[in-house]
A and B are shown apart, each in its own frame.
Chain A
């Protein structure tokens, strides 16, 4: 236990000292404070909107005596959110992090390493859930003025809530990695292990989660009954949650104790399972099969074909994105996963009927439709260009080999354009996939698909260069795992701010001036093109200046 504690503390210190890198110099400290302020200001509206939304919800449900539904929703949604984040986080922290080989050589038991990894993941999850959990609970406390026990249990719940979903995701990954050594092509299996975990996670959620199927009559009966009876329609995946909900709503100490007992049992069970399985999957994680096959003359000729440096550099970026499991999962697959996640919306019978009914009412030739298509195209372009984080981490992903960029006889202009190109190529693949898929499913007219595509492409060029600018200004070069380079990288937020701001502006214009598509299209086009060209021109100079201060 003592080893587990000291290992967890060391990992935590290491993680946060990495986050804190580059704050030693005074100027950097001011830059950091500035960025933190921007971050707080940017996140405030989100936190405030959760607070307001919850307050409104409670006030709406209070007369029906169903205000507990808010807590039910919170305790249903937050663990699921943690579970999905964990499916991306766990492979990197437990299996593909750089410290694994060092830890394996130390006289540590599997559960000690596993426990410390769980602890680090837990801290990350706290950061994630605080944006949702705190404002909702605070709004509930503000309106309902519950007893002291509620406040105490809320704190306890915040601290323990991520454990079980995190462990569920960890167990799925641990079982998959335990099977890896049995796979013939270990490299490939390592590569797709994250996808397998994601698939299993989604399947479990679809099987177990959601709401009980009830008739309208039953629903009305629940509504009339009061006393938070609607909560009976909730299905919770995680076994400890119903007790937590009871403890919160009824102030039941017994339920709180049962919740804690189940949570502790799951943690202990997980560590015991880890004692059996963890090392079996982790030993040799970095083993890569070597064929030791001599290249044939024809293969050598093909492999040594010359290209322009900028093309070769772009291909290098793409190869690294596809060949690194963490990047493949987080940066590449997301371009294609996002449209697939929307698939049920179109294929579910009621959803499809609703959409068809709405579509039947739309006049595809009206100026309003074209204005909406332009706005939607830009929004898709901005989303698909920023969500994959490729350009926003293009410099960060270099890590300790950042010096390569400085050492080679290739201008920063060419290197940055090659990096942007890799992001743009993958964003465009996602855009094409989304728009053509949605367009053909919804049977949109061809010209409307073209308008959507055109503006999405222009917007994605812009957002990729903006993202690259953010990463040039604040690259995260010191990291322990590739996951940290892409997912624990605040650049994502700084990219989202201009993206969201622009989306709001476009939304405003579309709503207020729906009948001037030509003017709207022209202004959007000119603004995006001029902004992108300015970025393309100025980025190399900014990089030159910024990179000088990075040793």
Chain B
């Protein structure tokens, strides 16, 4: 369960990146976060993960406030940032083991999860190499694996499918579906409307730091008869 209540973020006291944003995402849902460049998506995700502080409002993850109880709140989610170039000098296995230690996953469990995830993402042969030697897509995969290793109940992903090959993209989407089906939450930002259409139970459309629409895609399509999703998105953001 994610609760975002009247959250505002202003940069340098002037630019309002997010303005009175509220969202309530229930368990068991995949929610797509859509908006044009500079709409406030990444700022919102950063506030949800404790990377940025909210100027106003609060964010609760499974009931834990990220501002007042950050350590417990951070254990509730796994975050995949948009730039996967983390700790390039470490080997893949070293990175995964570090993440497992930070999230206190015991040895036996981490070993079996690493094996499973590496097979699912075709990364078994790359674990012993430095992340520096990985392609962009492989770096994306190792970051996703680092997040999934502690099986967080909430997944927060910033453009998670960018750079993934079709097979890994399919695997990740399947994992997202399974995760939501098991009663947990997935919240991810994307520019690809087709992905949102196929994958999401709900979408939140943001522009200029404000939520313009939050609900199911069917409901949205119902409002704009005979328009494609792309046209609907342009229409909503133009008037937002």
1/0 contact string of A394-426 vs chain B (CB within 8 Å): 000000110110111111000000000000000
- Which residues of B in the span 80-122 have a Cβ within 8 Å of any Cβ on A? 81, 83, 85-87, 89-90, 93-94, 96-98, 100-107, 110-111, 114-115
- Which residues of A in the span 297-327 have a Cβ within 8 Å of any Cβ on B? 299-301, 303-309, 311-313, 316, 319-320, 323-324
B235 at the interface (CB under 8 A from A): no
B53 at the interface (CB under 8 A from A): yes
Contact B90 A319 (CB under 8 A): yes
Specify which of A187, A294, A319, A324 is in contact with B125 (CB 8 Å cutoff): A294
Min CB distance, B224 to chain A, in Å?
Answer: 36
Point out the residues of chain A lying under 8 angstroms from B124, CB to CB: 294-295
Contact A306 B107 (CB under 8 A): yes
Min CB distance, A522 to chain B, in Å?
Answer: 40
Point out the residues of chain A lying under 8 angstroms from B71, CB to CB: 409-411
Q: Chain B: which residue is nearest A400 at the CB level?
A: B83
A: contact size bracket: 35 or more
Point out the residues of chain A lying under 8 angstroms from B46, CB to CB: 403
Point out the residues of chain B lying under 8 angstroms from A287, CB to CB: 133
Specify which of A290, A319, A406 is in contact with B51 (CB 8 Å cutoff): A406
Q: Chain B: which residue is nearest A406 at the CB level?
A: B51
Min CB distance, B129 to chain A, in Å?
Answer: 4
The total of chain B residues at the interface (CB under 8 A) is: 49
B130 at the interface (CB under 8 A from A): yes
Contact B102 A408 (CB under 8 A): yes
Contact A551 B52 (CB under 8 A): yes
For this complex, 25 residue pairs linking A to B, each with C-beta atoms less than 8 Å apart, are: A286-B132, A288-B129, A290-B126, A291-B128, A292-B125, A294-B128, A295-B124, A300-B115, A300-B127, A303-B97, A304-B100, A304-B114, A306-B101, A306-B105, A306-B110, A312-B98, A316-B90, A316-B94, A319-B89, A400-B83, A403-B81, A407-B50, A407-B74, A409-B102, A548-B53
A184 at the interface (CB under 8 A from B): no
Cα distance A309–B93 when bound, in Å?
16
Contact B12 A24 (CB under 8 A): yes
1/0 contact string of A275-299 vs chain B (CB within 8 Å): 0000000000011111111110001
Point out the residues of chain B lying under 8 angstroms from A404, CB to CB: 86
Min CB distance, B166 to chain A, in Å?
Answer: 21
B173 at the interface (CB under 8 A from A): no
B58 at the interface (CB under 8 A from A): no
Contact A309 B102 (CB under 8 A): yes
17 new A-B contacts, CB < 8 A, other than A309-B101, A312-B98, are A25-B12, A290-B129, A290-B130, A291-B129, A300-B115, A303-B94, A316-B90, A323-B130, A401-B87, A403-B46, A403-B81, A407-B49, A407-B50, A407-B51, A407-B74, A409-B72, A409-B103
Contact A316 B87 (CB under 8 A): yes
Point out the residues of chain A lying under 8 angstroms from B125, CB to CB: 292-294
B75 at the interface (CB under 8 A from A): yes
Contact A300 B114 (CB under 8 A): yes
Contact A304 B111 (CB under 8 A): yes
Point out the residues of chain A lying under 8 angstroms from B74, CB to CB: 407-409
Point out the residues of chain B lying under 8 angstroms from A295, CB to CB: 93, 124, 127-128
Q: Chain A: which residue is nearest B96 at the CB level?
A: A304
Contact B79 A407 (CB under 8 A): yes
Point out the residues of chain B lying under 8 angstroms from A400, CB to CB: 83
Min CB distance, B133 to chain A, in Å?
Answer: 4
1/0 contact string of B10-31 vs chain A (CB within 8 Å): 0111000000000000000000
Point out the residues of chain B lying under 8 angstroms from A304, CB to CB: 93, 96-97, 100, 107, 110-111, 114
Q: Chain B: which residue is nearest A321 at the CB level?
A: B89
Q: Max chain B CB contacts within 10 Å: which of A287, A305, A313, A551?
A: A551
Min CB distance, B208 to chain A, in Å?
Answer: 19
Point out the residues of chain A lying under 8 angstroms from B12, CB to CB: 24-25
- A-side residues, CB < 8 A to B, are 24-25, 187, 286-295, 299-301, 303-309, 311-313, 316, 319-320, 323-324, 400-401, 403-404, 406-411, 548, 551
Contact B102 A289 (CB under 8 A): no
Cα distance A113–B158 when bound, in Å?
36
Knowing A303-B93, A400-B83, the reply to whether A288 touches B132 (Cβ < 8 A) is yes
Of all A-B residue pairs in the complex, the 5 with the closest CB atoms, nearest first, are A312-B101, A409-B74, A290-B133, A288-B133, A323-B89
Q: Chain A: which residue is nearest B111 at the CB level?
A: A304
Point out the residues of chain B lying under 8 angstroms from A403, CB to CB: 46, 51, 81
Cα distance A286–B135 when bound, in Å?
12
Q: Chain A: which residue is nearest B86 at the CB level?
A: A401
Cα distance A53–B182 when bound, in Å?
77
Point out the residues of chain B lying under 8 angstroms from A324, CB to CB: 89
Min CB distance, B135 to chain A, in Å?
Answer: 10
Contact A308 B101 (CB under 8 A): yes
Cα distance A301–B115 when bound, in Å?
11
Q: Max chain B CB contacts within 10 Å: which of A187, A288, A299?
A: A288
Q: Chain A: which residue is nearest B103 at the CB level?
A: A409
Point out the residues of chain A lying under 8 angstroms from B115, CB to CB: 300
Point out the residues of chain B lying under 8 angstroms from A307, CB to CB: 101
Knowing A289-B133, A295-B128, A309-B104, the reply to whether A316 touches B98 (Cβ < 8 A) is yes
Point out the residues of chain B lying under 8 angstroms from A309, CB to CB: 101-102, 104
Q: Chain B: which residue is nearest A404 at the CB level?
A: B86
Point out the residues of chain A lying under 8 angstroms from B102, CB to CB: 309, 312-313, 408-410
Cα distance A319–B132 when bound, in Å?
14
Contact B111 A301 (CB under 8 A): yes
Point out the residues of chain A lying under 8 angstroms from B94, CB to CB: 303, 316, 319
Cα distance A250–B98 when bound, in Å?
66
Contact A406 B93 (CB under 8 A): no
Min CB distance, B8 to chain A, in Å?
Answer: 15
- Which residues of B in the span 164-180 have a Cβ within 8 Å of any Cβ on A? none
Point out the residues of chain A lying under 8 angstroms from B129, CB to CB: 288, 290-292
Cα distance A319–B46 when bound, in Å?
28
Min CB distance, B67 to chain A, in Å?
Answer: 10
Specify which of A293, A320, A406 is in contact with B87 (CB 8 Å cutoff): A320
Contact B100 A306 (CB under 8 A): yes
Q: Chain B: which residue is nearest A323 at the CB level?
A: B89
Point out the residues of chain A lying under 8 angstroms from B100, CB to CB: 304, 306
